[in-house]
Amino acid sequence: MASEGHEIFFFGDPSHLPACLALINYIFPPSSLAIGILGNLLVVVVMRVRRSTTNSTDIFVGALAFSDLLTSLFNIPIPRALQVPDNILGACYCRLVQTSCLIWICVVSSSYILVGASFERLAAVVYPLRIKDIFTNRRVYIFIIIAWLFSFVSCSYYLLSFLFQGDLLSRIYCVPTNSDTSLLIIINSFNFAIRLMVPTVLMMVSQTAMAILLHLQSIRLRQAMSCGSKQSYHILARNRVIKIMLVVVIIFILSWSPSQIAFVVVSFRGTAKAYVSSSVRQILNLITFINSSINPFIYAAHYPKFRSAIKEICLGKTQKNVPLFGMETIRTPNHELSTDGHA
Whole-prediction pTM: 0.79
Burial zone of 233 (CB within 10 Å; 0-12 exposed, 13-18 middle, 19+ buried): exposed
Lowest mean pLDDT among 138-147, 172-181, 316-325, 331-340: 331-340
Q: What is the pLDDT of residues 289-330, one digit of tens each?
A: 778 888 888 888 777 778 888 888 787 776 666 667 765 544
Cβ neighbors of 72 (< 8 A, separation 6 or more) are 33, 36, 37, 40, 292, 293
CA distance 158 to 163: 10
Distances from the Cα of 317 to the Cα of 41, 309, 320, 328, angstroms:
19, 9, 10, 21
CB 292 within 8 A of CB 22: no
The CA-CA-CA angle for residues 48, 50, 56, to 5°, reads: 80
Residue 112: CB atoms within 10 A of its CB come to 22
The CA-CA-CA angle for residues 109, 111, 113, to 5°, reads: 65
Domain ranges within the chain, ordered by starting residue:
4-338
Residue count of the chain: 343
Q: Which of 67-71, 281-285, 323-327 has the highest mean pLDDT?
A: 67-71
Looking at the domain covering 4-338, what would its CATH class be?
Answer: mainly alpha
Q: Which comes out higher in pLDDT, residue 307 or 276?
A: 307
Q: What is the pLDDT of residues 105-152, one digit of tens each?
A: 998 999 999 999 999 988 988 888 888 888 988 999 999 999 999 999
Query: By C-alpha distance, which of 125, 129, 304, 132 is closest to 218?
Result: 125
- DSSP line for 117-152: HHHHHHHHHH-TTTHHHHS-HHHHHHHHHHHHHHHH
